[in-house]
Amino acid sequence: MSPEILLPDAIARAAAVLAAGGLVAFPTETVYGLGADALDATAVRRIFRAKRRPADNPLIVHLAGVDELARVAASVPALATRLAGEHWPGPLTLVLDARPDVPSVTTGGLRTVAVRVPDHPITLALIAAAGVPVAAPSANRSGRPSPTTAAHVVTDLGDDVDVVLDGGPCRVGVESTVVDVRGGVPVVLREGSVTREELGIAGDAPTGDVAASPGTRYRHYAPACRVVVAAAGSLAAEVGRHGTEGGRVGVVACRTTALPNGVVEVARYAEAHELAAILYRALRDAEDAGVDVLVVEGVAESGVGRAVMDRLRRAAAG
């Protein structure tokens, strides 16, 4: 058997593409990102074109370390320093006042900037080697499920991306929690994998104004098939309702749930973290399996289950 040839310079080459204004898709612990130099307006405009993303939906700027915050943030309140210390590298995005030299295309015309340090060795090395802050939305076509493998990125973006760094499947599978930290208390703008409990926020505390997080008002996460959410324990009833409409019914169900007859088993999970990790892949797999209606058995709305149910409802809203 001939040896496998590995190229040691993949990260350096991708970093050079970023530094020269190109687009590089990279793995993070949550989902794959589509990156460009955050301070290069022309490069960032290419992200919006590739994704067909509305121009008023701002991007998250990815840094290699907390000490780089001053490159994009005008000020760093004590709450930001504390939360960054507790959760970075990790799936927490902080909204801060932006430095005036951050291009408005990156911030979607807002005076704030969203930042995080992702928890992935390939991408931390990439950002450090590029030497620039990296603006990156999820690397899907706008409105589609976020990509959790390199193949998902290629399916959605094809030739519109210059380089894809393949780091295998993403570990967490649901995006970062977006938190506005400017007012002294954390305000959740988007539910994500860092839970309210971990942020010391009461479960019933209101979510920030939708207008404050433009992305949350757009159509999201929708595969080609219809998605239906079943409450935990009511899979059979929901399948019964949709099975009678004819067509192919797929299911994503808890491992302990008995599957109704005649359905396509798309994926199984043991608990909320596992559903988070497999959900986007399952939406795409259902599409590939020619499923017409995908019934997903939901989980309790606590911990990471809150973010998972938020994504599921958006996918179901199509």
Q: Which residues between 223 and 252 bind ligand TXA (CB under 6 A)?
A: none
8 Å CB contact between 84 and 199: no
Using CA atoms, how far residue 85 sits from 80, 227, 303, 317, in Å, is 8, 38, 21, 36
**Is the preceding peptide bond at 223 cis, omega within 30 degrees of 0?**
no
Q: Minimum CB separation from Mg ion for residue 140, in Å?
A: 6
* Member of 22, 133, 215, 303 binding ligand TXA (CB under 6 A): 215
Q: Minimum CB separation from Mg ion for residue 148, in Å?
A: 12
- Kindly give, in sequence order, each residue whose CB lies less than 8 Å from that of residue 102, ignoring residues fewer than 6 positions away: 38, 39, 61, 72, 113
What distance in Å separates the CA atoms of residue 277 and residue 190, rounded to the nearest whole number? 18
Q: Which residue, 74 or 289, is less far from ligand TXA as judged by CB?
A: 74
First to last CA, the chain: 48
Q: Which residue, 106 or 263, is less far from ligand TXA as judged by CB?
A: 106
Q: Out of Mg ion, ligand TXA, none, which partner does residue 176 contact, by CB within 5 to 8 A per kind? A: ligand TXA
What is the three-class DSSP state of 311? helix
213 touches ligand TXA (CB under 6 A): yes
8 Å CB contact between 76 and 69: yes
148 touches ligand TXA (CB under 6 A): no
* Member of 57, 81, 155, 234 binding ligand TXA (CB under 6 A): 57
123 touches ligand TXA (CB under 6 A): no
Q: Minimum CB separation from ligand TXA for residue 94, in Å?
A: 10
92 touches ligand TXA (CB under 6 A): no
147 touches ligand TXA (CB under 6 A): no
8 Å CB contact between 59 and 38: yes
142 touches ligand TXA (CB under 6 A): no
Q: Which residues between 149 and 208 bind ligand TXA (CB under 6 A)?
A: 175-176, 178, 189-190
Using CA atoms, how far residue 22 sits from 17, 113, 134, 160, 240, in Å, is 5, 21, 11, 10, 49
Q: Which residue, 138 or 193, is less far from Mg ion as judged by CB?
A: 138
Q: Which residue, 138 or 176, is less far from Mg ion as judged by CB?
A: 138
DSSP state, residue 138:
B
Q: Which residue, 34 or 125, is less far from Mg ion as judged by CB?
A: 34
50 touches ligand TXA (CB under 6 A): no
- Kindly give, in sequence order, each residue whose CB lies less than 8 Å from that of residue 186, ignoring residues fewer than 6 positions away: 79, 83, 179, 180, 199, 200, 201
Q: Is 7 exposed, middle or buried (0-12, 13-18, 19+ CB in 10 A)?
A: exposed
103 touches ligand TXA (CB under 6 A): no
Q: Which residue, 123 or 138, is less far from Mg ion as judged by CB?
A: 138
212 touches ligand TXA (CB under 6 A): yes
Q: Which residues bind Mg ion (CB under 5 A)?
A: 138
Query: In the complex, which residues of this chain contact ligand TXA (CB under 6 A)?
Result: 28, 30-31, 33, 57-60, 91, 93, 95, 107, 110, 112-114, 118, 136-138, 175-176, 178, 189-190, 212-216
